[in-house]
Amino acid sequence: AQKITQTQPGMFVQEKEAVTLDCTYDTSDQSYGLFWYKQPSSGEMIFLIYQGSYDEQNATEGRYSLNFQKARKSANLVISASQLGDSAMYFCAMREGGRSNYQLIWGAGTKLIIKP
């Protein structure tokens, strides 16, 4: 079974609109972390935001925020006031288990295109 599901293979959004990228996850662990990364066409992976399973507040980093709904096992990325430079692939990833776990489980990604 997929542990990280990103249901939107591609999205077109008008510049300056807000964007929500979906991510649902599956884990039986109580302790886990969720990450979002951006991959522009140049190929590098850029870390955007992190949410721990015990964090009470939704994470925010500038124009990025994470809509964390633990009971629904969803961790959607919200980008406010989208810009042309936001066009990229976006990946959701999860790290399960205890503090000794180094491995990330990745979703298949969502391709976001911002229209001028």
Partner 1 sequence: DGGITQSPKYLFRKEGQNVTLSCEQNLNHDAMYWYRQDPGQGLRLIYYSQIVNDFQKGDIAEGYSVSREKKESFPLTVTSAQKNPTAFYLCASSSGPYGSPLHFGNGTRLTVT
Span from 13-21, 67-75, 76-84, 87-95 in contact with partner 1 (CB under 8 A): 87-95
* DSSP, res 64: E
Span from 15-23, 66-74, 80-88, 95-103 in contact with partner 1 (CB under 8 A): 95-103
Residue closer to partner 1 (CB basis): 16 or 98: 98
Q: How many helices (H) and strands (E) does the chain have?
A: 0, 12
Q: Are 93 and 106 in contact (CB under 8 A)?
A: yes
Q: How far apart are CA 95 and CA 111, in angstroms?
A: 22
Q: Are 47 and 114 in contact (CB under 8 A)?
A: no
91 binds partner 1 (CB under 8 A): yes
Among 30, 41, 57, 100, binds partner 1 (CB under 8 A): 100
Residue 85: both structure tokens together = 């430079």
Residues that bind partner 1 (CB under 8 A): 4, 33, 35, 37, 42-47, 50, 52, 91, 93, 95, 98-104, 106-109
